[in-house]
Chains A and B, each alone.
Chain A
Amino acid sequence: MKTNSEIIKLDKISKDYKLGKTVVTALKNISVTVRKGEFLAIVGPSGSGKSTTLNIIGCLEEPSSGTVTFDGKNLTGLSSNELADIRASKMGFIFQTFNLLPVLNIFENVEYPLHLRGMGKAERFERVTKVIKEVGLERFTKHKPAELSGGQRQRVAIARALVGSPDVILADEPTANLDMQTGEEILAQMKELNKTLGVTFIFSTHDQSIMDKAQRIIELRDGELRDGGLIK
């Protein structure tokens, strides 16, 4: 993958939430640029706006003001179908609580995003088998998520995020529900995939040991970038 070219640009992004008659500001005038192939950490304490920033990058919610550009395309004003198609074709998601579909087995969970792309059965099988092997879960393809440990479930989530060869993978606190050792293993695996596949990773965390693995860190405090955002 070609690196160092710009893939995501947040320009003066603000996000307000209405709670009854009160307006709560989650993000204030954030501007961030992410380059292809980066391994970027967004850090900050709870409530600082990390998840909101990831949600806006991932087209999961719209900013109150400002523009988001993804791979050169302005996302402002796109329909929900267009945004869904961008998420399906260009993005992968890893969640803090894994968010696997409990009724599907591991193979089917990883296969799900490929269905959304209308991919044929043979290609789906090939891709899913390959990516499950990459995360070391080939023995568990017929298992349900409930039969796996937290670390194994997060590996399934990584496989699901990777299977469609997305341009960017967004991970919201991917290690928060894991013990320290498993969390480090997961992060090491993400870092390895970033290095070998060149896929851009943007993840949020407030764990110092995980921050140390990041190539670049931006810090949020009360919805604002601290010191212009760039820590590392």
Chain B
Amino acid sequence: MYLKLAFKNIFRNKVRSAITLGAIAFGCVSLIISGGFMEDTFTQMRESYIRSFLGHMQVYKQDFYEKGSATPYDYMISDHELISAKIKGIDGVSHVTPRLDFSGLLSIGDTTISFIGQGIDPEGEAKISTSVSTEDGQALSAEDSFDAVLGKGLAKAVGVEPGSSIIVVTNTISGAMNGLDINVKGIFSTSSKGFDDRALRMPLKTAHRLLRTSDVQSLVVLLDKTEDTDRVKAALQKRFKADGDDLEVIAWYEMADFYNKTVELYNRQFTVLKLIIGIIVVLSIFNTMNMSVMERVGEVGTIMALGTRRSGVVRLFMMEGLILGILGGLIGIVSGYILAKLISFIGIPMPPPPGATMSWTATIGVVPSVFAFVFVLAIATSLFSSIYPAYKASKLEIAEALRHNV
């Protein structure tokens, strides 16, 4: 009975109800679009980091990640081919590739500059670093030996281009000096300007020759799905422990400090947005319900005179708020879905984010959790804003209320 009466009461003043539903729906659409935009930004940023240089996880010698920066060559993996085979045996792993990180000096003419070097397996790395783009020249290939590719910023800093010859000097793992003449094969860029400003990549076999070792420092793992990160990490840790391998597994999110801080910053902004929209919805429904109570004082008096309990009056008005919330929420999520798809179809051209070099096209992610949250928020705020008007209606003096004409 209350449901039927509540429905009919909502649609008695169609314009006012439409404005209220519009306010709720607008709030929902705003949250869906902003939440979807943020989610898409996070996803693109995350995948860009993963597929530029982090991989989904990296396998190091135990304690390297915490203590290895001072003495990196104390934490080398010698049996990396055997370890790689073990990693590939885990369900969900797509590719594994070795890396040997080092630092050194790069000279051309009178210019000398420090760099961060990576010895990589060109074929394996190509499968993992899909977000690395070759700006000029060519990428490394398996046949290359005394070749290297330079980050865009580093190449610009020393003024080299593909075909240039440079001298690379570094310490071997035993501490002696060693140098090689290297041909610049290409210029690359990633999503990280900081990386591009200092990075030099060469074939692993060349890095081995330069550092006089056959070991690697890390094994970079790419998965089929980012969502599997924790599961695969746990499986790897279990396998290494069972086999007595003195190795540690670091997931991408433990290495992506900039990404983590960006997500935290955005999430705080989103919380403020949610609060603002929540307040708008609350005020809008509060206004509607309050006006509705004031207009219907005589009716409330009548139904109480006929025997409706005060709790029944509360239930009636709360139900009206609930229906407004459900309808507004449904309109909002349907409109939000359509708008999200439309915006994504067109795309939003975005400038490179802080610290990055590449512009990108943003879309609006359709995130089920955001839709669910928005729907629940619409209902919760609607119910919340109905509490006082419902209480006020239930506390009317019947005889006094009956003096108002119905």
Contacts and interface: CB of A to CB of B under 8 A. Distances in A.
B399 A116 contact: no
Contact of B406 (A60, A102, A112): A102
Contacts of B288: none
B9 A103 contact: yes
Contact of B308 (A55, A58, A102, A116): A116
How many B residues are at the interface, by size bracket?
A: 20 to 34
A60 B302 contact: no
B1 A112 contact: yes
B406 A88 contact: no
Contacts of A99: 298-299, 301-302, 305, 402, 406
B399 A115 contact: no
Contacts of B311: 81
A61 B306 contact: no
A101 B399 contact: no
Contact of B305 (A60, A98, A115): A60
B380 interface: no
A100 B406 contact: yes
Interface in A96-122: 97-104, 108, 112-113, 115-116
B103 to A, nearest CB: 78
B397 A103 contact: no
* Chain A interface mostly: helix
A84 B308 contact: yes
Given A87-B306, A89-B307, A112-B306, A101 B397 contact: no
A112 B301 CA distance: 14
Interface in B267-318: 298-299, 301-312
A80 interface: yes
Given A80-B310, A84-B309, A100-B406, A112 B303 contact: yes
Interface string A56-69: 00101100000000
A2 to B, nearest CB: 24
B339 interface: no
Contacts of A112: 1, 303, 306
Contacts of B312: 116
Given A60-B398, A60-B399, A61-B399, A103 B306 contact: no
17 contacts: A51-B399, A52-B399, A58-B305, A60-B398, A60-B399, A80-B309, A84-B310, A85-B307, A88-B308, A93-B305, A99-B298, A99-B299, A103-B5, A103-B8, A104-B5, A104-B8, A115-B1
Given A101-B5, A103-B8, A103-B12, 4 more contacts: A87-B305, A87-B306, A88-B306, A99-B402
Interface of A: 51-52, 55, 58, 60-61, 80-81, 84-89, 91, 93, 95, 97-104, 108, 112-113, 115-116, 160
Nearest 5 A-B pairs (CB), nearest first?
A: A88-B307, A103-B8, A115-B1, A99-B302, A87-B307
